[in-house]
């Protein structure tokens, strides 16, 4: 059973996410009936699933929700802000319900009750049944519901019906699903209490149904009990009688026969019917149903759901295959048998295809992230009382799922910043001659081997001079330091720098842009800010396509192999050993330029077998260039990244390991770290001197 | 799965460091390897010999001798790596422990394991789970979670840096 529940939770989560996505669409196009139809269907599925698995609270909750959208899709209600708010609150609450099924947390429980009350209140404004009880004559409602015919149903069940396993009340419930109902029970058959057999039914009912119903749809309800009851159905009016004044008095009078009642009802009718509209609604519904069947068929064929651990496992197996393949190549070359070489080449081809395929499986479109940002923008802009629209471009750009997962937090933070500090209030914007509505654009696109994500707002921008002053006041830079524009904007990412003048609930949560930078660096990404005062701020994030494979330069120092990521490699040179020793300023002249160098043999504490001639790899990070000395450069190498594990957490200049064709382990160098460490040491040394 | 299981299980793998014999519960032993090419990771403490390729995964190798205050292991024909899983900060990780030689697998009922002497041991009490009397020798059963835990590794690191200064 637990396994089934797990499936339910997974499906429910997908449904809720889908619901959120669709609700956001509705927010933008409140009048699009296909969207309300979709929401109704999602709720319907969720209700069915949850009741089936015994999550009655979810079932109950979704039932109310479903009714709401049922009214909307039938045109009995329109999508108001109130409806939208309650929809989003419900989405959040459904997520809560999944984690706290029994509502053990009292806050959740109160929330649950409030939401249901809210839903019922919204519904009460429209339900035909309710409006009769309250005898309300709300003009709007009358108009909307009056297009439906009224049927009279007399249902006299056989006394023994319950023994056959039928719950008669369910039938009445089902009937009320068809439209507004008014039910009159007839107690004539009730015997004396002493003679009453609790297993028999003595009651019978007269039910008035109004809505988009037909005789057939009513007959359908009683399909399974037809043989065991007395059933009479008559159309008594083309219009909705239920919301006419005086209807209930006539309906309740059991002494009158139905024919007499019809006569009396006739006096109540004020409006003529318009049958065509009912047909129209019904056709639309049928079409929508057809459509849903087709789409669900498509889905079942074109995609399957796979646990992400399985994907990770597949990925690591493929990586292993790539490694083994490299080894096979090596061996087959050594043996030099043409037959073996041809087999090995074939396997190499297949391996490559398999690898590319597997990687593409693990890529997911960035769209998966966007829903929550849309939501964030909607919620925050309401909270901040700003009118902001969120636009995205290139939502189909694909990234490794691990990157996407780790991208949510930093992006969230950037969005909060933009909304809170970037975009001005409506009046301020108008004063500046900008449109009152602010705009945040998220643009994703491929650029070579990376993906660029830009978040651009049209807010007030950042004043570089202000950043400078702030950095000076915080002691991050000295007043006489000369920084170019880029360097000034980079200051934002330093720990201890926060441009927020005041701490607000929205963005002042104690995390600054330094955390954003760190989180992005962790997924091997880069981030930078560009801003024009009063025009807006753009944040550029550059990310690798995948985390598990990098193109690198394979080098060797003594017996140890190292891989330097190719993205950081600028140029390669040769240099004599003497050029590296006994230098005071640690500078080497390459191509007529002075470049600071790091003698890796000293840095990594490797002393054995020092060669006379060194190879030099110049790595660059942003605008900084540093030369790294190695013994030999072997060549380009596609490295499958393996973590070094927790024991080596403290060694940050090595970001991982990879396994070479001959089975040895090569270490992957993180040039950014080395450069950073170098600069740190320089400053340290200067201070000491 | 730590201490309770240790008491129930009654198979121990014994190994030698210099002249002393130690033992670990076989439940935690994955396999015993001959020594392949070890890649030393720069800027890591002395007792971390390096990393090896264990069928496509990177396995950190710890020189048990240095952990126990002995001189660095010189590889001999008997030297080998015991692949162990240990619990570190509530997470199971796999490490390789470099030892001079493996001895045998002992089948023992749990009452044969004596409590370790509180005094007079040259090893920290929390490292030793208990003692086994085997003929005239004593075998020390190691609490591998403690011996190879990261806290202990860090502590060792601090100690070494102090001695340098």
Measured in degrees and rounded to the nearest 5, phi and psi for residue A487 equal: -65, -35
Residues A118 and A28 in one domain: yes
- Per-residue pLDDT band at A498 (split at 50, 70, 90): low
Closest by Cα among A46, A66, A211 to A128:
A211
User: Could you tell me the CA-to-CA distances from A182 to A166, A230, A248, A403 in Å, in that order?
Assistant: 22, 19, 8, 57
Task: Mark whether A68 and A106 lie in a shared domain.
Answer: yes
Whether residue A253 is predicted with pLDDT greater than 90 in this model: the reply is no
The nearest CA of chain A is from the CA of B10 a distance in Å of 29
Instruction: Report the SS3 class of residue A488.
Output: helix
Structural domain contains residue A74: yes
pLDDT on residue A247: 76
Distance from CA of B119 to the nearest CA of A (A): 31
Which pLDDT band holds residue A555 (cuts at 50, 70, 90)?
A: very high
Contact B53 A663 (CB under 8 A): yes
Domain match, A232 and A189 both: yes
Probe site for chain A from B33, B36, B38, B43 (most A CB atoms < 10 A):
B43
pLDDT grade, residue A126 (50/70/90)?
A: low
Is the pLDDT at A476 greater than 50? The verdict is yes
Please indicate, yes or no, whether residues A430 and A538 belong to a single structural domain of this protein. Answer: yes
Q: Check B58 against A644: CB less than 8 A apart.
A: yes
Neighboring chain B residues of A642 at a CB cutoff of 8 Å: 57-58
Residue in chain A lying closest to B41 (CA): A667
Domain boundaries B9-162, corresponding CATH code: 2.40.50.180
The yes-or-no verdict on residue A666 having pLDDT over 50 is yes
The answer to whether residue B114 scores a pLDDT higher than 60 is yes
- Cβ contacts (< 8 Å) between B91 and chain A: which residues? 646
| A641 Cβ neighbours under 8 A, 6+ residues apart | A547, A548, A549, A550, A655, A656, A657, A658, A668
Asked if A665 lies within 8 A of B95 by C-beta distance, the reply is no
| Residue that is last in its domain, among A254, A269, A292 | A254
The residues, any chain, with a CB within 8 Å of residue A183's CB and separated by 6 or more, are A172, A176, A205, A206, A207, A208
Give pLDDT, residue A132.
Answer: 38
Whether residue A664 has pLDDT greater than 90 = no
Residue that terminates a domain, selected from A544, A569, A591: A544
CA distance linking residue A653 with residue A671, whole number of Å: 7
| Pair (A169, A194) in one structural domain | yes
* DSSP H or E segment with residue A658: strand A654-659
Rounded (10°) CA dihedral A134, A137, A139, A142: 80
Chain A residue numbers with beta carbons less than 8 Å from the beta carbon of B157 are: 650
Same domain, A159 and A193: yes
Among partner residues A605, A644, A659, which is closest to B56 by beta-carbon distance? A659
Nearest to B67 by CA among B57, B52, B89, B82: B82
| Min distance A609 CA to chain B CA atoms (Å) | 16
User: Burial level of A461, CB count in 10 A (0-12/13-18/19+)?
Assistant: middle
- Residue B150 has its nearest CB partner, among A319, A561, A646, at A646
Mean pLDDT of A113-125: 79
Phi, psi of A75 (to 5 degrees): 80, 10
Check B93 against A560: CB less than 8 A apart: no
Q: Report chain A residues whose CB lies below 8 A from the CB of B47.
A: none
Q: Is residue A597 part of a domain?
A: yes
Report d(CA A684, CA A688) in Å as an integer.
6
- Whole-number average pLDDT of chain A: 79
Cβ–Cβ contact A142 with B under 8 A: no
A558 Cα to chain B: minimum distance (Å): 11
Give the residue-averaged pLDDT of A151-173: 80
> Which residue out of A647, A660, A662 would a mutagenesis test of the B interface target, given it has the greatest number of B Cβ atoms within 10 Å?
A647
Q: Among candidates A497, A495, A457, A437, which has minimal Cα distance to A373?
A: A457
Pair A570, A540 in one domain = no
Tens digit of each residue's pLDDT (9 = 90 or more) over A356-366: 888 888 888 88
SS3 category, A346: helix
Q: How far is CA A533 from CA A137, A436, A460, B137, in A?
A: 57, 17, 6, 80
Which pLDDT score is estimated for B60?
93
Task: Mark whether A196 and A218 lie in a shared domain.
Answer: yes
Q: Are residues A573 and A491 in the same domain?
A: no
Please state which of the ranges A11-20, A119-128, A504-513, B126-135 shows the lowest mean pLDDT.
Answer: A504-513
pLDDT at A129 over 70: no
Domain shared by A112 and A187, yes or no: no
pLDDT for the residue B81 = 94
State pLDDT tens for residues A267-316.
665 444 445 556 666 666 666 655 554 444 444 557 777 887 888 888 87
Tell me the average pLDDT across A168-196. Answer: 80
Average pLDDT over every residue of A566-581: 82
- Say which residue the tokens 């299981």 belong to: B5
pLDDT for the residue A28: 80
B64 interaction partners in chain A (CB closer than 8 Å): none
A584 pLDDT tier (thresholds 50, 70, 90): low
Residue A507 has pLDDT above 60, yes or no: no
Beta bridge partners, B93, equal B86
Contact A653 B43 (CB under 8 A): yes
Q: Which pLDDT belongs to residue B96? A: 93
What's the gap between Cα A520 and its chain centre?
19
**Average pLDDT value for residue range A642-670:** 84
Q: Does residue B57 belong to the interface with chain A, where contact is any CB pair within 8 Å?
A: yes
Q: Note whether residue A285 is domain-resident.
A: no
Whether residue A662 is contained in a domain is answered as yes
Q: How far is A627 from chain B (nearest CA, A)?
A: 18
Task: Read off the pLDDT of each residue in A316-324 and give the average, rounded to a whole number.
Answer: 80
Tell me the sheet residues that pair with A587. A596
- Which of A:306-325 have CB within 8 Å of B? 316, 319-320, 323-324
What residue in A sits closest to B91 (Cα-Cα)? A646
> What average pLDDT is seen over chain B?
79
Give the number of domains in chain A: 4
**More confident position, A455 or A480:** A455
Q: Which residues share a beta bridge with A231?
A: A155
A262, two tokens:
């019809």
pTM of the model: 0.52
**Which residue spans within A379-423 are E strands per DSSP?**
388-393, 398-400
Q: 3-class SS at B91? A: strand
| Cβ within 8 Å of A, B 78-107 | 88-89, 91, 93, 95
Is this prediction's ipTM beyond 0.85? no
- CA-to-CA distance for B45 and B61, rounded, in angstroms? 12
Q: Tell me the average pLDDT across A571-589.
A: 77
How many Cβ atoms sit within 10 Å of the Cβ of residue A520?
24
Residue A606: which domain range?
549-688
Write down which residue in A482, A509, A544 finishes a domain: A544
- Strand bridging mode B80-88 / B91-99: antiparallel
Q: Which of B36, B38, B51, B153 to mutate to test the interface with A (most CBs of A within 10 A)?
A: B51
One-letter-per-residue 3-state SS of A234-275: EEEECCCCCCCCCHHHHHHCCCCCHHHHHHHHHCCCCCCCCH
A200-230 per-position pLDDT tens digit: 888 888 888 887 777 778 887 787 777 778 8
Rounded distance between C-alpha atoms, residue B96 and residue B93, angstroms:
10
Task: Encode A194-223: b = buried (16+ Cβ within 10 Å), e = exposed.
Answer: eeeeeeebeebbbbbbbbbbeeebbeebbe
Confidence of residue A474 (pLDDT cuts 50, 70, 90): confident
- The answer to whether residues A245 and A390 belong to one domain is no
Q: Which site among A558, A561, A640, A645 would you substitute to test the B interface, given the most B Cβ atoms closer than 10 Å to its Cβ? A: A645
Domain residues of chain B, as ranges? 9-162
**Whether residue A105 sits in one domain with residue A217:** no
Contacts of A561 in chain B (CB under 8 A): 39
Q: What is the pLDDT of residue B52?
A: 92
- Specify if A680 maps to a domain: yes
3-state DSSP: chain B helix, strand, coil percent, rounded to 5? 25, 45, 35
Between A319, A646, A651, which is nearest B93 by CB? A646
Residue A46 belongs to a domain? yes
Category of A385 on φ-ψ map: left (φ > 0), alpha (ψ -120 to 50) or beta: left
pLDDT digits (tens, 9 = 90+) for B73-94: 788 888 999 999 988 777 788 9
Compare A137 and A263 and report the one with higher pLDDT: A263
């Amino acid at each position: 059973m637990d396994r089934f529940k797990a499936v339910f939770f997974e499906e429910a989560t997908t449904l809720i996410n889908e619901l959120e996505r669709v609700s956001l669409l509705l927010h933008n196009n409140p009048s699009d009936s296909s969207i309300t139809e979709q929401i109704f269907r999602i709720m319907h599925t969720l209700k069915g699933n949850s009741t089936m698995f015994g999550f009655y609270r979810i079932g109950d909750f979704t039932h109310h929700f479903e009714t709401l959208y049922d009214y909307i899709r039938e045109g009995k209600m329109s999508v108001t802000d109130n409806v939208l708010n309650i929809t989003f609150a419900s989405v959040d609450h459904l997520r809560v319900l999944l984690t706290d099924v029994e509502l053990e947390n009292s806050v959740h429980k109160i929330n649950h009750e409030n939401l249901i009350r809210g839903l019922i209140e919204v519904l009460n404004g429209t339900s035909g049944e309710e409006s009769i009880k309250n005898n309300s004559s709300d003009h709007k409602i009358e108009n909307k519901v009056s297009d439906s015919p009224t049927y009279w149903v007399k249902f006299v069940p056989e006394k023994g019906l319950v023994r056959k396993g039928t719950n008669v009340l369910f039938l009445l419930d089902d009937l009320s699903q068809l439209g507004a109902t008014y039910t009159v029970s007839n107690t004539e058959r009730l015997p004396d209490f002493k003679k009453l057999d609790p297993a028999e039914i003595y009651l019978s009912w007269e039910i008035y149904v109004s809505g988009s119903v037909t005789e057939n749809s009513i007959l359908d309800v009683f399909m399974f009990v037809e043989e065991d009851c007395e059933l009479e159905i008559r159309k008594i009016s083309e219009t909705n009688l239920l919301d006419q004044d005086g209807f209930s008095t006539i309906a309740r009078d059991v002494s009158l026969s139905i024919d007499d009642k019809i006569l009396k009802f006739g006096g109540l009718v004020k409006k003529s019917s318009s049958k065509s509209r009912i047909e129209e609604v019904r056709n639309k519904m049928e079409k929508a149903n057809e459509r849903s069947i087709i789409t669900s068929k498509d889905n079942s064929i074109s995609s399957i759901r796979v646990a992400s651990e399985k994907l990770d496992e597949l990925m690591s197996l493929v990586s292993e295959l790539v490694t083994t393949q490299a080894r096979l190549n090596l061996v087959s070359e050594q043996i030099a048998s043409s037959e073996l070489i041809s087999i090995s080449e074939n396997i190499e081809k297949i391996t490559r295809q398999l690898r590319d395929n597997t990687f593409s499986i693990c890529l997911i479109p960035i769209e998966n992230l966007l829903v929550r940002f849309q939501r964030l923008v909607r919620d925050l802009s309401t909270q901040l009382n700003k009118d902001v629209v969120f636009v995205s471009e290139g939502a189909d750009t694909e990234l490794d799922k691990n990157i996407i997962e780790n991208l949510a937090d930093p992006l969230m933070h950037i969005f909060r910043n933009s909304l809170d500090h970037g975009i001005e209030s409506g009046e301020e914007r108008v004063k500046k001659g900008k449109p009152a509505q602010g705009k945040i654009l998220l643009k994703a696109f491929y650029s070579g081997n990376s993906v660029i994500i830009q978040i651009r707002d049209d807010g007030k921008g950042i004043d570089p001079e202000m950043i400078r002053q702030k950095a000076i006041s915080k002691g991050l830079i000295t007043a006489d330091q000369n920084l170019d524009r880029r360097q000034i904007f980079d200051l934002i990412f330093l720990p201890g720098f926060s441009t927020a003048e005041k701490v607000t609930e929205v963005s002042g949560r104690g995390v600054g842009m330094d955390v954003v930078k760190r989180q992005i660096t962790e997924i091997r990404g880069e981030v930078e800010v560009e801003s024009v005062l009063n025009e807006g701020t753009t944040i550029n994030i550059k990310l690798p396509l995948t985390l598990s494979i990098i193109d690198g330069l394979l080098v060797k120092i003594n017996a140890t192999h190292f891989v330097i990521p190719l993205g950081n490699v600028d140029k390669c040179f040769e240099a004599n050993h003497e050029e590296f020793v006994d230098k005071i300023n640690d500078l080497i002249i390459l191509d007529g330029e002075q470049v600071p160098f790091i003698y890796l043999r000293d840095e990594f504490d490797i002393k054995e077998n020092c060669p006379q001639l060194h190879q030099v790899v110049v790595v660059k990070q942003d605008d900084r260039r540093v030369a790294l000395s190695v013994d030999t450069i072997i060549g380009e190498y596609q490295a499958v990244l393996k973590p070094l594990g927790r024991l080596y957490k403290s060694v940050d200049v090595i970001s991982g390991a990879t396994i070479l064709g001959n089975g040895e382990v090569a270490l992957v160098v993180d040039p950014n770290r080395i450069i950073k460490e170098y600069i740190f040491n320089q400053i340290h040394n200067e201070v000491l001197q | 799965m730590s201490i309770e299981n240790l008491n129930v299980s009654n198979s121990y793998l014994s190994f030698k460091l210099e002249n002393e014999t130690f033992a670990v519960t076989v439940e935690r032993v994955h396999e015993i390897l001959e020594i392949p090419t070890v890649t030393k990771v720069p800027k890591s403490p002395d007792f971390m010999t390096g990393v090896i390729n264990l069928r496509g995964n990177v396995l950190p190798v710890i020189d048990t001798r240095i952990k126990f205050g002995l001189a660095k292991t010189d590889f001999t024909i008997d030297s080998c790596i015991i692949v162990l899983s240990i619990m570190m900060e509530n997470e199971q990780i796999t490490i390789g422990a470099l030892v001079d030689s493996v001895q045998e697998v002992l089948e023992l009922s749990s009452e044969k394991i004596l409590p370790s002497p509180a005094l007079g041991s040259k090893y920290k009490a929390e490292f030793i789970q208990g003692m086994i009397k085997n003929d005239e020798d004593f075998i020390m059963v190691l609490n591998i979670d403690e011996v190879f835990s990261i806290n202990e590794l860090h502590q060792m690191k601090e100690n070494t840096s102090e001695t340098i200064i």
